[in-house]
Amino acid sequence: MGAVDRRTQAQVRTTDRIAEPWGERTPYGPGDPWPVRVDTRLADGVEPEDVDRWVQSATILHSNGDGLDIAVKDGEIVGVRGRAEDRVNHGRLGPKDLFGWQANNSPDRLTRPLVREGGELVETDWDTAMGRIVARSKELLAEQGPSALGFYTTGQLFLEEYYTLGVIAHGGLGTSHVDGNTRLCTATAAAALKESFGCDGQPGSYTDIDHADVIALYGHNMAETQTVLWTRILDRLEGPNPPKVICVDPRETPVARHATVHLAPRPGTNVALMNGILHEIVQNDWVDHEYVDAHVVGFQELAERVKEYPPEKVATICDVPVEQIREAARVLGTAERLLSTVLQGFYQANQATAAAVQVNNVHIVRGMLGKPGCGILQMNGQPTAQNTRECGADGDLAAFRNWTSDAQVADLARVWNLDPMDIPHYSPPTHVMQQLRYIEDGSLRFWWVQATNPAVSLPELARVRSLLSQDRLFLVVQDIFLSETAQLADVVLPAATWGEKEGTFTNVDRTVHYSGKAVEPPGEARPDLDIFLDYARRMDLRDKDGAPLVKWHDPESAFEAWKECSRGRPCDYTGMSYDKLKGSGGIQWPCNEENPDGSERIYVDGKFWAAPDYCESYGRDLVTGAPLSQTEYKAMNPDGKAIVKAAEYVPPHEIPSEDFPLQLMTGRTLYHFHTRTKTGRAPQLQAAAPEVWVEMSAHDAELRGLAEGDLLEVATPRGSLRARLRVCGIRRGTIFVPFHYGYWDRPGGHEPDEAGRAANELTITDWDACSKQPIFKTAAATVSLVERSGGAPAPAPTTTGSRPLSPDVPPTTGGPDAQVRVDLQTATAGGAR
Amino acid sequence: MKIGLALHELHRSENELAEKLLHVSDRHKADHEVHHLARDLARWSQRHVEELAEAGRRYDVDLNPRPRGETHLMARARDKLSDAVGREPQASLLLLLDLREVYTRSAGVSADWELVAQVAQGVKDTELLALSKKCHPDSLRQMRWANAKLKESATQVLVS
């Protein structure tokens, strides 16, 4: 831990937050408030008193939603400081937040629009760039209609921007081809909540950590994906009466190392595992029958289904010791305040929705909802993914309206002053993998991509590149850097990012934060909202009375419009305003007249948003994905109760073979976000995890005569890449490759120059039929030796799930460049707040 | 008693549905969800075929427990064709026709299970009735899947 800073006071220290990603412990007990710890990182040579102003915002490089202030000096961002009064983080920040802001100031930011001329991207002005987009839009609308136009957005814009995009695409153009890259991170979270509760909306609150006696993390390496939330758990674990931790993960993650029970199932078998656990819960009658009788439908079906999954059978399917299944079930079944969290190990795996729904089922049958410590966090992967969902920019309609309900579509048409027929609702909004298919068959000919990098992040990259580089596709990319995808575009629009524009966004536990504009965007870069408003104006989109369809002109007026759209819906924002959010520590929706300060918990006293005329979704068949009709739903759940849905285990579509004997999972590391467009430009983060690697167990390495640091070729039927080997605690038969590494900082630019580097060269094109989330956690793979290590270890962090077994690997540190100021006192350190 | 007739008919229609689904899976490799799901759902019908053969034995009805397969060569030819036409709009029209056929065939299977369930009740064969109760919902799910896929795909194919 860092030395005492003698210039200030005894409680102020500095810590190397690359070496110690979670920082210092502040232990606390059940029901106690989580102590404040303020983390500050300023550019070298800048002291808190040098800062001109602090501008309120929240974190943008993960989904946790930690409140922070951006430090501004001489018109530039010079650092960040956690907000002590924020309900989410109580002042703490994670390594990506502490160092990632530097990417804003990168010299290679896009500063002018680009258009393709003679095969090359050349600089141009906004008029020319927008003119081309509008001309092509109008041409295709005339020739084919709205089915030719598609939008692929992100989980990193702001609420105001998604809402505006949704209105333009669904209402103005009339296309149903609108999705976000949230499809890759949070689609299953939304789908699972819709299946169990008839509606999206998080049944948990981060404060449940303060009360829980058992915390179960399913496929959720929280220590790396939401570092500050994990810090909260670590602080509980070091305090009096710590909670028990259940971890389901094939890797030996930091979470697994703290677990009371760590289950490491064979990839692709989560549903079998969950059915085994539920089998024990039902058999031992750890069921709250009073709750189930009063508030639940479908319990009998579950009880019947799980009879087929006794622990002995499940142990064989999952390759997990039978005692561990029993022990995990006992801990879950006897918990008094159970908090469960779920992420990509379930969402990006075989039978994603079915597995995530079984986690909900544990809570429903145990009556553990809507009380302190009793929550479910079906997590998000991105900072503003919740808004993509709420605002109807990711395959849903705005404010959780049900596309199969004529009444709800009519209500949306009322808000937008359109005819209901103007809003396409004849089928679900088109998910991204299906949009790709339409690009492939030539029926989708205009694709507008914002703040995401499908040429690295979607599965089976050889296919994706071949689709995106077709001449018949008009590709627009709106981004802050010339990403791999942008390099394939016909028009590139330079966008402003976090800190350079105003707006709001919402995290996984429904906390809404205001994010202010700290500095001017570079060059001619524009806020995404301004770009959308400009497009709507140039397209002359009108409502049914001939007035402009988009009736707002800036972030605050967009927020006000959104409030009206959300009125009376579960995600009700009507009680909020910019003024109320400014200076606040975050407000949880629903926030309305009834709940003026927001709502910490929903689903209190068994009340749900599942009534047939109100719910967002009638649900789907968990295996076939076929949507239920209104009639079917009404018959099943006339009174809007919680829904227990059972599912049979179905094996993954690609299983290991003689040629491809291993199971490949892709995933993330603590120090990077997505395709490294920002974190790769932050020196401390880039140095901590500079290059791709592949993880393997000691058993598998020995079997093949391989050792730490050896350069391997990893191959699947789709492609291959080269990576150095990290021998670590991952389960046998399984390998892991982080997906952050593409080609923008390699000679190939947007594609491999020699050997592949991106994990998605390997992945399979397959998705969960229910949530349409692609599968990244099961692909059959093989490895071969390219070259011996020569003593150098794999370039993987030692602080994380990739911790080496070999004691000879030097530990990951950040050194003098990674020092972070830690204030363990209350929020008084430096500068005006 | 014509129970053998009903079992024969159902055995035939399940076999044909399984074959059709495998055929659809092979032909639409570029439509990945259809490709994978059709294969999963074919397995349901194949399982039913096995279970029907078991049930038939009690009525001296000789039903082959092995689901009908198709020659490897045929499937491979279709694979190749599927790759080649994946980028043509006609492939999508073919998809609609195929899904329509899965829908009508699974409706036929569903009706056949209805008949078997009725006859099982008539002769008080609780075992056969239980089999019908277990398998019939699968046919309905296959039917709903085909219908949902049709609904989801039709607009883009037909207006573009």
Encode pLDDT of B61-71 as tens digits. 899 988 886 55
Tell me the backbone φ, ψ of residue A245, rounded to 5 degrees.
-120, 130
Give the pLDDT of residue A762.
98
**Interchain contact A145–B (C-beta under 8 A):** yes
Task: Show Cβ contacts of residue A96 under 8 Å, excluding neighbours closer than 6 positions.
Answer: A59, A61, A62, A227, A670, A671, A672, A673, A679, A682, A685
Residue A232 to residue A726: CA distance in whole angstroms:
29
Q: Tens digits of per-residue pLDDT, A208-228?
A: 999 999 999 999 999 999 999
What pLDDT score does B79 carry?
Answer: 66
Would you call A625 and B89 a contact, using CB atoms and an 8 Å cutoff? no
Q: What is the mean pLDDT of chain A?
A: 96
Q: Say what the pLDDT of residue A296 is.
A: 98
d(CA B14, CA B39): 14
Q: Does B79 touch chain A (CB under 8 A)?
A: no
Domain of B16, CATH number, reads 1.20.1260.10
Q: Which amino acid is at A656?
A: P
Instruction: Say whether residue B159 is in contact with chain A using an 8 A CB cutoff.
Output: yes
Question: B37 to chain A: which residues are within 8 Å by CB?
Answer: 624-625, 769
Which of A145-149, A563-567, A653-657, B91-95 comes out lowest in average pLDDT?
Answer: B91-95
CB nearest A624 (choices: B145, B155, B157): B145
d(CA A171, CA A647): 36
* pLDDT of A7 higher than 50: no
Number of domains in chain B: 1
pLDDT in tens, A507-566: 999 999 999 999 999 999 999 999 999 999 999 999 999 999 999 999 999 999 999 999
Q: Is A241 on the interface with B (CB under 8 A)?
A: no
- Segment among A234-243, A334-343, A753-762, B66-75 with least mean pLDDT: B66-75
Contact B145 A621 (CB under 8 A): yes
Residue of A nearest to B88 (CA): A441
Percent of chain B's residues with pLDDT above 70: 87
Reported as a single tens digit per residue, the pLDDT across A47-92 is: 999 999 999 999 999 999 999 999 999 999 999 999 999 999 999 9
A159-172 pLDDT tens trace:
999 999 999 999 99
Would you call A48 helix, strand, or coil by DSSP? Answer: helix
For A364, phi and psi rounded to 5 degrees? -65, -45
* Nearest Cα residue in chain B from A175: B156
> A140 with A149: CB under 8 angstroms?
yes
The answer on pLDDT for A828 being more than 50 is no
User: Is B34 an 8 Å CB contact of chain A?
Assistant: no
Angle between helices A159-166 and A528-539 (to 10 degrees): 20
- Which tens digit of pLDDT belongs to each residue from A363-411? 999 999 999 999 999 999 899 999 999 999 987 899 999 999 999 999 9
Residue A657, burial from CB neighbour count under 10 angstroms (0-12, 13-18, 19+): exposed
Which of A72-97 are b and which e, b meaning 16 or more Cβ less than 10 Å from the residue's Cβ?
bbeeebbbbbbbbbbbbbbbbbbbbb
Nearest by CB to A626, from B36, B145, B157: name it: B145
Of residues A570 and A826, more confidence is placed in A570
* pLDDT of amino acid B72: 56
- Which of A141, A178, A624, A648 is the best substitution to test chain B (most B C-beta atoms within 10 A)? A624
Mapped onto helix, strand or coil, the DSSP state of residue A439 is helix
If pLDDT is split at 50, 70 and 90, which confidence band does B76 have? low
The residue range of the domain holding B144 is 3-159
A767 close to B (CB below 8 A) = yes
Query: Which residues lie closer than 8 Å to A165 by C-beta, 6 or more apart?
Result: A151, A153, A157, A178, A391, A393, A450, A532
Per-residue pLDDT band for B90 (boundaries 50, 70, 90) equals confident
Alpha-carbon separation of residue A446 from A33, A138, A169, A472 (angstroms): 51, 11, 12, 9
Per-residue pLDDT tens over the stretch A573-608: 999 999 999 999 999 999 999 999 999 999 999 999
What's the N-to-C CA distance of chain B in angstroms?
53
A268: left (phi over 0), alpha (psi -120 to 50) or beta: left
Q: In this predicted model, what pLDDT tens digit does every residue of A645-684 receive, in sequence order?
A: 999 999 999 999 999 999 999 999 999 999 999 999 999 9
Element (H, E) at A54: strand A53-58
The CA-CA-CA angle for residues A356, A359, A365, to 5°, reads 140
Tokens of A521: 């965007």
- Test the A interface: residue of B21, B24, B31, B32 with most A CBs within 10 Å: B32
Task: Mark which residues 95-154 of B lie under 8 Å from A by CB.
Answer: 141-142, 144-145, 147-149, 151-152, 154
> Where does the pLDDT of residue A6 fall: very low under 50, low under 70, confident under 90, or very high at 90 and above?
very low
| Confidence at A825, pLDDT banded by 50, 70, 90 | low
* CB contact set of B102 (below 8 Å; sequence gap of 6+): B17, B20, B21, B24, B38, B142, B145, B146
pLDDT band at A829 (very low <50, low <70, confident <90, very high): very low
Q: Is A650 on the interface with B (CB under 8 A)?
A: yes
- Chain B residue with minimum CA distance to A767: B33
